[in-house]
Structure formats: C-alpha cells, structure tokens
C-alpha cells in the first residue's frame, strides 16, 4: 500500500517526518509518497481529498472532518507559538486597514478573527511574502507565521499583537496551529501505525547532532540559527501526542467552527 503524504517544507515538518520520508524507519506493507506545499495549498488539497495523509491548519480541519480524522502525533501546537499581527508603523487596527493573511482557512486567520472580528479587508498572499509586503507598505497589517516571528524586528516592523498570547490569556489552552489528518477510510487500518512511525521519527531526530541537508534544502534561504529556533518553538511534547489539553483546544475550535459535527475528531490510538 502506497500512501500519499502532504507536509510543508518548513523545518518543523521536515524535522518530524525526515526519518519516514528518507526510509530510515518504515512499516511493513506501507510505502509513502511525499509532497511539499505551503500550508494554504495543503488546506486546499485536503478540501479536495487529494492526499491520504495531510498536514492541515486545525481551523481548516473542520471543513474536511467528514473525510479525515486527526492523528494525535505530528502536529504543531503549544504555548507561545501563535501568529503575530505586524504593521510597518505603530497603529491601532480598525476595519479600514488592509490586512495580508497567509490563508483564509489557516488557524492564524482564525485567531485574527477571534481577536479582531471587525477586520474584514483581508488579502491572501504566501506566508513568506507578508513581511516584505509590509516593508513596502502594500498593507497596513500583516499576519505572520513560522520564521517571521524571529526576523520582523530586523526589518523595522512593529508587533501589534501576539495573537497566540491573546488566545492563551483568554482560554488557558494551547494554541492548535496544525495537525496531521488521515482519511477516515484508512484510519482504522493504518492510523495507529502512522502515529507510531511519527513518534519514532521524532525520537530518531532527537538523537541527531546537526540539522540535515534534507531539512536545510527544504527550508531554502533560511539561516541555520533561524531553522533551529523554528524547530525549538514548534516541535515539542504536543508533537508526539496532543494529550488531553490539546484535545480540549481542538474541541473548543470545533465548538466555534462546527458545533453540530458528531463524529470523533481525533483518532483513538
């Protein structure tokens, strides 16, 4: 059985999945074909049910829940990991401001709406172009994720709000950024195996002394120091198992986004 897996090229995803992608660890009778896409593209592919296993924004998951169920391992969740709302000049957000976002179905946009429900003038652009769009003042506000957390001050940008901190202060729950979803039709037979492989892959990675060429090549122009900061922030205990607090955070999002969905949302593995 060959299963297609879609993840992002970001260091946290390639760190988590390297041992699987490069067949350092494997499972009998299962093979994997990997695809690498921006999270907005992965969300779109999940809505089209194109991939067997896929990294998705948790906020997007509730659009695909009839076809997919979440694994407990492999995702990005935690405290202090939320997106930042930035601006080229110090401002107080209002409904007239133009906002660059990394995707309407991202958890980042969900948290933006949670904190600033009146901000509606939004434009989707690739996440790695938002900083420069703010520097050139094409937008009044920009919603940044991933490595932009570590580089925005160098570019003279201002932090309007840490949306993750706002969520944590109000809900006292970890921030559910992105999770690994598997087709419901495959979950019963393969879900436990995939969960176990992901945990083994992380544990293999934890024994490595340096970041591999595989991680660096997918991260493109990111500096080694930024890659390591990225991994240190987004790969944590929740990456091995979302646990009870993680499930509470996902269930809270479900209550807001899909209150009437009755099927299980996290696989019992």
What's 35-55 look like in SS3?
A: EECCHHHHHHHHHCCCCCEEE
Backbone angles phi, psi at 185, to 5 degrees: -70, -20
Give the residue numbers marked as catalytic. Answer: 146
| H or E element, residue 68 | strand 68-70
Pair of tokens at residue 197:
């492989």
Residue 110 CA: distances (Å) to CA of 25, 85, 91, 104, 164: 35, 12, 21, 8, 11
CB 39 within 8 A of CB 61: no
The span from the CA of 194 to the CA of 180, in Å, is 10
The span from the CA of 39 to the CA of 68, in Å, is 17
Helix and strand numbers (H, E) in the chain are 12, 11
Torsion angle in degrees (nearest 10) through CA of 80, 209, 194, 59: 20
Q: How many residues are present in the chain?
A: 269
The span from the CA of 66 to the CA of 62, in Å, is 8
Per DSSP, 97 falls in state S
């Amino acid at each position: 059985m060959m299963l297609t897996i879609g993840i992002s090229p970001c260091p946290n995803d390639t760190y988590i999945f390297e041992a699987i992608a490069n067949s350092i660890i494997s499972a009998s009778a299962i093979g994997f074909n990997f695809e690498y896409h921006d999270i907005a593209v992965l969300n779109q592919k999940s809505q089209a049910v194109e991939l067997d296993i896929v990294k998705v924004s948790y906020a997007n998951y509730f659009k695909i829940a009839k076809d997919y169920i979440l694994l407990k391992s492999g995702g990005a969740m935690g405290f202090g990991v939320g997106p930042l709302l930035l601006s080229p000049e110090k401002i107080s957000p209002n409904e007239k401001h133009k906002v660059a976002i990394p995707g309407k179905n991202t958890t980042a946009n969900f948290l933006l709406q949670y904190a600033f429900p009146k901000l509606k003038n939004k434009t989707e652009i690739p996440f790695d172009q938002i900083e420069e769009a703010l520097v050139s003042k094409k937008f009044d506000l920009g919603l940044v994720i991933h490595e932009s957390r570590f580089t925005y001050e160098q570019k003279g940008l201002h932090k309007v709000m840490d949306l993750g901190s706002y969520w944590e202060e109000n809900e006292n729950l970890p921030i559910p950024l992105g999770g690994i979803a598997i087709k419901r039709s495959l979950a019963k037979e393969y879900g436990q195996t995939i969960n176990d492989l992901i945990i083994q892959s992380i544990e293999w990675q934890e024994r490595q002394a340096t970041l591999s060429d595989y991680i660096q090549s997918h991260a493109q122009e990111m500096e080694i120091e930024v890659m390591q900061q990225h991994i240190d922030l987004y790969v944590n205990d929740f990456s091995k198992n979302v646990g009870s607090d993680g499930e509470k955070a996902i269930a809270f999002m479900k209550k807001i986004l899909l209150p009437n969905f009755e099927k299980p949302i996290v696989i019992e593995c």
